[in-house]
Structure 1
């Protein structure tokens, strides 16, 4: 029951939903990309990323000093069941569309350099 509560608690915050929307749309992003797209401080973004990772939504990888996040490919069953509904809802979100447009406005290439 505790895992179920953690899962739904991870989805109750707007910032965490915005992060999920960006990752669902792009595949993988560096923390600096998320900071720029969300226009939030690094500490806030990192706290929400840790929450999503602890709830089983995300995986991370380190490349030099940068940490990249993506949706966990081997999601638990309940997560995997909720993912299509989340994807559909978040795709239509005004915040999600604005965040994605802001991210795309930074252009391709290494935004973290």
Structure 2
């Protein structure tokens, strides 16, 4: 199994969650989202972000508004819809449950390995 591919798949799985969280803070421009996702090491490129934003909009989870810019063309700022806020809250509950489950398994594995080491006299 390719570790890099596994890491990419894990990041893809939580990308929507992260995007919705970023937008939940208030109106946000796509390049600002891209910058935050990149700095958080959630590898994403414009070619991934824009289709995802379109899909989330078509699903009714977010909307956008155009804002005039003094330095060029108008900018599209994304906002969560009421449906998006509910979805994010439910997604957050699922994330917390999943995180607790994974941590429980990891903790048990750690405990098991330490117990084996003690039994071997290490």
Normalising by structure 2, report the TM-score: 0.51
C-alpha contact 1:31 1:66 (8 A) present in aligned 2? no
Residue from 76, 85, 88 that aligns with 2:90: 85
- The match for 2:79 is 70
C-alpha contact 2:30 2:76 (8 A) present in aligned 1? yes
Q: Give the match's secondary structure for 1:46.
A: helix
Taking the TM superposition and a 5 Å limit, the aligned residue runs for 1:45-60 are: 45-60=49-64
Deviations 1:35-88 (A, max 9, x none): 101122222111110010011100101113311101113x3xxx6654432345
C-alpha contact 1:60 1:69 (8 A) present in aligned 2? yes
Distance 1:58 1:90 in 2: 20
Q: Structure 1 residues 18 and 67, CA, compared in 2 at 3 Å: closer, same or farther?
A: same
Greater per-residue helix proportion: 2
Q: After the TM superposition, which parts of structure 1 deviate over 6 Å for at least 4 consecutive aligned residues? A: none
Normalising by structure 1, report the TM-score: 0.54
Q: Which has the larger radius of gyration?
A: 2
Root mean square deviation, CA, Å: 3.1
Distance 1:69 1:80 in 2: 13
Gapped runs of 5+ residues in structure 1?
A: 1-11, 95-113
Q: Give the match's secondary structure for 1:27.
A: coil
Gapped runs of 5+ residues in structure 2?
A: 1-11, 39-43, 69-73, 100-122
Structure number with higher relative contact order (C-alpha < 8 Å, ≥ 6 residues apart): 1
